């Protein structure tokens, strides 16, 4: 594995370039501090394009990309190269990245996941969430603060709603990682209550903690029924079984269909991201963004190249 060199080496002038005026991919990142906004956006797009090159044999495929950045709401200074233990880098090897294999990966479930699935229904029945409290406060602290701090919550939501509104009239593929999936879900439920309801063609959640009992309780308290937003045409939930953020449940079973009959489709994947020191991180966005399953969604959304 080789980490990236300098920032200039990662520059991609097409991050928000006009490749297809009718379609746009919008990304929103997850919890914890991040590199500077332009760099993070560039790396997200590079990871998606790397996946398209290796999984879909489309090395030159480009697309309009918009990015929602909110790490500055929680962290005064972005991560610099010296402090970033998990940069984007081009993965070694050739050919498609491996897909999830139910037989091979049957045991790839975190200890936390096995524990949570054993007690999650008890938390829901008792109305007490001690395990959720530990996960949110100590492992998912940005999400904890999202629920506690209305100013932070509203500003983060406003940034995504602004991105959706400035792309109104276009076909939108919204890709949300980790806590970004909760921000995305809340925004989509808010938008369905507006007269000028804005539609998103496809939502893809990556490593989403939406199944946590406490998160679903917050959804119910603010939005009512825990269901698929009526603003969605499709919802794919990509989750690595070893990702601690996805310990709670399969979203297809936890979120009722929308009024239009759209359901959340759970898609198990293999997130093979490793830090430059070799340590695996099954929650990392770049690993999710270059999975074959995400490439399938992006390829279907983009359709045939404009110049084909």
Q: Please report the pLDDT score of residue 12 as a whole number.
A: 40
Domains of the chain are: 25-77+109-302 (3.40.50.1820)
Burial 92-124 (b: 16+ CB within 10 A, else e): eeeebbebbeeeebeebbbebbeebeeebeebe
Q: Please report the pLDDT score of residue 129 as a whole number.
A: 45
Residue-by-residue pLDDT tens, the chain, 308 positions: 434 333 333 334 344 444 567 999 999 999 999 999 999 999 999 999 999 999 999 999 999 999 999 999 999 999 999 999 999 999 999 999 999 988 776 666 544 444 444 444 444 444 434 444 444 444 567 887 898 899 999 999 999 999 999 999 999 999 999 999 999 999 999 999 998 878 999 999 999 999 988 899 999 999 999 999 999 999 999 999 888 888 766 899 999 999 999 999 999 999 999 999 999 999 999 999 999 999 999 999 999 876 55
Q: Please report the pLDDT score of residue 101 as a whole number.
A: 87
- Answer whether 294's CB lies under 8 Å from 49's CB: no
CA distance 165 to 170: 10
Q: Please report the pLDDT score of residue 107 as a whole number.
A: 61
Q: 3-state class of 205 per DSSP?
A: strand
- Answer whether 256's CB lies under 8 Å from 227's CB: yes
Q: Please report the pLDDT score of residue 19 as a whole number.
A: 57
Q: Please report the pLDDT score of residue 13 as a whole number.
A: 34
- Answer whether 209's CB lies under 8 Å from 179's CB: yes
Q: 3-state class of 267 per DSSP?
A: strand
Q: What is the pTM of this model?
A: 0.86
Longest CA–CA separation in the chain, Å: 58
């Amino acid at each position: 594995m080789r980490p990236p060199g300098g920032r200039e080496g990662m520059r991609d002038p097409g991050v928000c370039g006009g490749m297809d005026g009718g379609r746009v991919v919008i990304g929103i990142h997850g919890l914890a501090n991040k590199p500077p906004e332009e760099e993070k956006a560039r790396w997200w797009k590079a990871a998606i394009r790397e996946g398209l090159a290796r999984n879909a044999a489309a090395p030159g495929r480009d697309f309009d990309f918009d990015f929602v950045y909110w790490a500055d709401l929680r962290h005064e200074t972005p991560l610099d190269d010296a402090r970033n233990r998990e940069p984007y880098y081009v993965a070694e090897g050739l050919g498609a990245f491996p897909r999830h294999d139910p037989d091979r990966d049957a045991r790839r479930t975190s200890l936390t996941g096995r524990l949570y699935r054993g007690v999650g229904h008890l938390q829901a029945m008792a109305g007490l969430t001690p395990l959720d409290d530990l996960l949110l406060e100590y492992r998912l602290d940005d999400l904890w603060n999202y629920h506690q701090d209305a100013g932070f919550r509203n500003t983060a939501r406003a940034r995504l709603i602004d991105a959706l509104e400035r792309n109104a009239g276009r076909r939108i593929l919204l890709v949300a990682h980790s806590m970004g999936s909760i921000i995305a879900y809340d925004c989509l439920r808010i938008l369905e209550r507006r007269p000028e309801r804005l539609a998103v063609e496809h939502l893809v959640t990556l490593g989403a903690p939406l199944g946590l009992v406490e998160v679903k309780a917050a959804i119910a308290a603010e939005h009512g029924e825990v269901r698929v937003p009526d603003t969605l045409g499709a919802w794919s939930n990509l989750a690595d079984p070893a990702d601690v953020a996805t310990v709670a449940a399969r979203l297809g079973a936890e979120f009722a269909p929308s009024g239009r009959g759209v359901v959340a489709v759970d898609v198990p994947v293999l997130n093979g991201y490793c830090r430059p020191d070799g340590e695996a991180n099954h929650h990392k966005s770049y690993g999710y963004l270059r999975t074959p399953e995400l490439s399938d969604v992006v390829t279907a959304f983009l359709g045939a190249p404009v110049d084909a």
